[in-house]
Structure 1
Amino acid sequence: MTDTDIEITADLVRDLLREQHPDLADLGIREVAGGWGNQMWRLGDELTVRMQRMDPTPELQLNERRWLPVLAPRLPLPVPTPVRSGEPSARFPKHWTVMTWVPGDPLDCSSISRGDHAADALADFLKALHAEAPADAPVSGDRGGHPKECTGGFDRFFHAIVPDALADDVRAVWDDAVAAPEWEGPPLWVHGDLHPANVVVSDGTLSGVIDFGDISAGDPAWDLAAAWVILPAGAASRFFHAYGRADAGTVRRARGLAAMKSLDGKRHAHHDHGRPARTQQTEQTQRMRRLRLLRHRLAHLLTPHSHEAGDKVDAAMETSRDGMRTLWISLVVLGVTTVVQAVIVALSGSVALFGDTVHNAADALTAVPLGIAFLLGRRAADRRYTYGYGRAEDLAGVLIVATIAASAVLAAWTGVDRLLHPRDITHLWAVSGAALAGFVGNEWVARYRIRTGRRIGSAALVADGLHARTDGFTSLAVLLGAGGTALGWRAADPVVGLLITLAILLVLKDAAREVYRRLMDSVDPELVTTAHATLRGVDGVLDTGQVRMRWIGHALRAEADIVVDARLTVVEAHRIAVAAEHALIHAVPRLTAATVHTDHTPVEDDPHATLRHHAPPARRPASAPARSSG
């Protein structure tokens, strides 16, 4: 019989206590369900026996014995503290430990209803725990390091669990964590395995933290992931504000680790650290419930949608910071490119390169209105601008379109003038080098702007990126002009300059269409279809009416009508409306809020009759005859 085949029973536990701690042997012993690495037995009212089971080595228990007595006195939440040590023997060739019992229900079998209190409690706990670890502190082989060291594990969970609808967003969160900077501070104490089965709750809030087997020195981001894994939706902002020590890189790593821990939900579904035993059927139900909750938590992580205004402002500021960073980096890259090209224009007199340089300069300067728009977008809504200042980006898009148009006019005028008044071009190799520099600089900026714009939902930034991409190819066209000039065709340079003007006009068309659609509140019709299907799938929704959406800066807002049973109470109908909004926010990307109006099934009188004379007349095709309402 192998060590893992040993059946751990109440009689075995009592016999071990009689052999090594006889003063505890007469206390009541009862099994608690679950546990994978260790099996738990309740000992009396205040103690528990932790029996090594599947853990291949005793290091986890030995770490708890060594370090919990040191850490526990300074932690503000109860934690299990070792009181007696059990050594391997002929009856049981593994380690076991008698520890204090932490009262409460495990979060994976309960819930947090006092989110703010729980966020503050968790922040206080981790501030106390995250002290610099001593040189002899344990170092985990698979926890406490940078997320990039866990890519293999993440990929394994990713391919096994992630629904297709969330795959791109989950991957983006992980890639961002992998790209985040390393933890540069000293190694701190970290719990290492904070998830719903390893915390207990009482009175709707956190009341204890258990299972310190993975205690080690490392990156605090491993514990800060609990902001999304443990706390209810909307509490992460309060948690990080209360914690007060996490920089942007640490938050990025924590968010990626939260995604990985959420994907690891199937493993968590088998952990039950010290809770009352349940039947097999109940266990299976609980596992399914945990898996649903973990997927739900993953959706919260990817689509922040607290109903608290502060959380929406934080998300908007985060995306604005992304936009600002993209703009200023683009400005520097294009500015350097423009300066190099301008020097070559002065030396060579190339009209084609002049047109390209002017356009690159205009493209660089578009960062100014966009930067102002991003700054305005950070301002909170007030009584005059009740939806905030997010539409400032749309106005910036208009200025960008005007800038593109002006650069096209200047390039065209210069090209026509050179055709009418030819002159020789010199320094052709320098012109060719400047053209290649223009292509490389513009293509890099285009990729960067489009990627960021699509991620944060900025139509203006995407339009600017498309503009930069075409600029790159127009820079290559300058090479044609240089080649034609080298072959003796004097008109090659101004002709290419005019071709560049045509390319600029094509960019103008695409950018103008993008900005026009945003100004006219255009949305993808598929989003509306998704919204209708989502609403009809909510329990209690019998049908849907009108659904409308509009962009406010980087975020979508929606208005929707649903039909519910006329016999419902106001409270019941409101509960369905809240559930409908919640479902919409999960289903529609970048939707931050929805106003859901409840209609009821027909009754004797139409409650909307008093509004009918306020409704605008229905629009009909010109050929359709008007009909009397009788």
Structure 2
Amino acid sequence: MSRFARMRYFPLIKAVLDQAGVRVEPDDWEVHSNGSAHIVVNAGHLLSVRVAKAHDAAKAMDSRVRILRALPRDLPFEVPRPLTRVISRAGYTAVGLTWIPGEARDIGPAPARPLGRALRAIGRIDAVQLGPYVEKAHFHWGGDDWETTLRETVIPRLFTDNQRMAHRIVDDVLDLDPVEPRVIHGDFSGHNLLWTKDKLTGVIDWDHTAIGDPAWDIASAANWYGWDVLTKCVGKDWAARAKIIHRLMPLQSVGYAIVNGGGGAIVRQSLERTDAWFEEHKPELPW
């Protein structure tokens, strides 16, 4: 954290630490600022302070904290638990959460057994209990209107040669047989899974939790750990379903940038990455 940023957030972070009864000097703050909505400050190994980057994230923090409180206590991994109230100072908002040991693994294979166990545990969470606190599936890139968002707002901005393939990808997802909706993490990717050696110690960032198709979490994990690992975790049928959904993710990223008010440069970068994805994966597409 730069000296300026530390000065800007210092009163807020100190207020969170004071409410939690924790004393950690700023030199021992470990700052993670690469998230799209939050800065996370790990204060020693005692707690994590989650600071909203923007007004929308600050408004949503109360509901996100309620999700963390409602998650069951018998999951096979730790989740961040609130240690303080949501606190605002000088126009910024934050909350203190439990610190979870572990680190994200590098992109590449991971042990299949703990991954599969985690996916099954998330799918068994009581959707009725969690339902009042979560958003609709895909809420961050169109919600119930995600097809319209992609077909009318995203796909026309792609290179002309890629637009036909993009429509086919949407068609294939819509043609999937329906499955019973379950609780999904919504961003079950490697940067949100913490490991200590081969033990999955924590799953963080439940902001995109929803009731939806479990294949979304499988696809997110496979994007990081690879399809061989995820096929071992969930079996061939679920892996095949997730591969169809996985093709939608580059389009989803553009939809996210547009729906959430990303500036012109952010949307352009997302479009460039999506067009590059089509060029790279065109030989693998089935049509």
TM-score (norm 2): 0.69
* Aligned residue among 275, 278, 281 for 1:299: 281
User: Structure 2: how far apart are the matches of 1:36 and 1:130?
Assistant: 26
Letter of the 1:222 partner, please give it.
W
1:225 matches 2:219: yes
Deviations 1:193-251 (CA, angstroms, capped at 9, x unpaired): 23343334554785532111122333333323225323314334223229x8x5x9xx6
1:182–1:104 Cα change, 3 Å: same
User: Structure 1: how far apart are the matches of 2:166 and 2:198?
Assistant: 29
User: Structure 2: how far apart are the matches of 1:209 and 1:233?
Assistant: 20
Letter of the 1:38 partner, please give it.
H
Displacement of 1:86? 3.0
Contact 1:138 1:215 in 2 (8 A): no
SS in 2 for 1:121: helix
Displacement of 1:154? 3.2
User: Structure 1: how far apart are the matches of 2:33 and 2:64?
Assistant: 21
1:239 matches 2:221: no
1:77–1:158 Cα change, 3 Å: farther
- After TM superposition, the structure 1 = structure 2 runs for residues 129-528 of structure 1, keeping only pairs within 5 Å, are 129-131=122-124, 132-134=126-128, 136-141=131-136, 143=138, 149-155=145-151, 156-158=153-155, 164=161, 169-183=165-179, 185=180, 187-201=181-195, 203=197, 207-241=201-235, 246=238, 252=241, 254-264=242-252, 295=277, 299=281, 303=284, 455=287
Displacement of 1:148? 7.2
Q: Which residue of 2 is the match for residue 50 of structure 1?
A: 50
User: Structure 1: how far apart are the matches of 2:102 and 2:160?
Assistant: 33
Displacement of 1:256? 4.3
User: Structure 1: how far apart are the matches of 2:43 and 2:189?
Assistant: 25
The aligned length equals 262
1:169–1:201 Cα change, 3 Å: farther
Q: Which moved more, 1:56-65 or 1:127-136?
A: 56-65
Larger radius of gyration: 1
Identity, % of aligned positions: 19
Q: Which residue of 1 is the match for residue 119 of structure 2?
A: 126
Displacement of 1:41? 1.2
User: Structure 1: how far apart are the matches of 2:76 and 2:32?
Assistant: 26
Letter of the 2:191 partner, please give it.
A
Contact 2:51 2:95 in 1 (8 A): yes
Extract unaligned runs of 5+ from structure 1.
1-5, 270-286, 305-453, 456-630
Deviations 1:349-382 (CA, angstroms, capped at 9, x unpaired): xxxxxxxxxxxxxxxxxxxxxxxxxxxxxxxxxx
Letter of the 2:178 partner, please give it.
E
RMSD: 4.2
1:86–1:149 Cα change, 3 Å: closer
Displacement of 1:268? 9.3
Letter of the 2:118 partner, please give it.
F
Letter of the 1:43 partner, please give it.
A
Deviations 1:501-558 (CA, angstroms, capped at 9, x unpaired): xxxxxxxxxxxxxxxxxxxxxxxxxxxxxxxxxxxxxxxxxxxxxxxxxxxxxxxxxx
User: Structure 1: how far apart are the matches of 2:277 and 2:191?
Assistant: 15
Q: Which residue of 2 is the match for residue 63 of structure 1?
A: 63
TM-score (norm 1): 0.35
Q: Which residue of 1 is the match for residue 261 of structure 2?
A: none
Q: Which residue of 2 is the match for residue 84 of structure 1?
A: 84
Displacement of 1:189? 1.8
SS in 2 for 1:84: coil
Deviations 1:235-281 (CA, angstroms, capped at 9, x unpaired): 34223229x8x5x9xx64x4444223234557999xxxxxxxxxxxx
Contact 2:137 2:211 in 1 (8 A): no
SS in 1 for 2:169: helix
Displacement of 1:82? 1.9
Displacement of 1:94? 5.0
Displacement of 1:8? 7.0
User: Structure 2: how far apart are the matches of 1:158 and 1:215?
Assistant: 26
SS in 1 for 2:45: coil
Q: Which residue of 1 is the match for residue 12 of structure 2?
A: 13
Letter of the 1:102 partner, please give it.
I
Displacement of 1:125? 0.8
Q: Which residue of 1 is the match for residue 263 of structure 2?
A: none
Displacement of 1:56? 1.1
Contact 1:39 1:51 in 2 (8 A): yes
User: Structure 2: how far apart are the matches of 1:98 and 1:152?
Assistant: 38
User: Structure 2: how far apart are the matches of 1:150 and 1:268?
Assistant: 10
User: Structure 1: how far apart are the matches of 2:113 and 2:154?
Assistant: 31
1:11–1:139 Cα change, 3 Å: closer
Contact 2:9 2:92 in 1 (8 A): no
Letter of the 1:262 partner, please give it.
P
Letter of the 2:84 partner, please give it.
R
1:45–1:142 Cα change, 3 Å: same
User: Structure 2: how far apart are the matches of 1:38 and 1:201?
Assistant: 21
Contact 1:112 1:206 in 2 (8 A): no
SS in 1 for 2:128: coil
User: Structure 1: how far apart are the matches of 2:247 and 2:199?
Assistant: 23
1:26–1:199 Cα change, 3 Å: closer
Contact 2:78 2:100 in 1 (8 A): yes
SS in 1 for 2:281: helix
User: Structure 1: how far apart are the matches of 2:156 and 2:190?
Assistant: 23
1:29 matches 2:29: yes
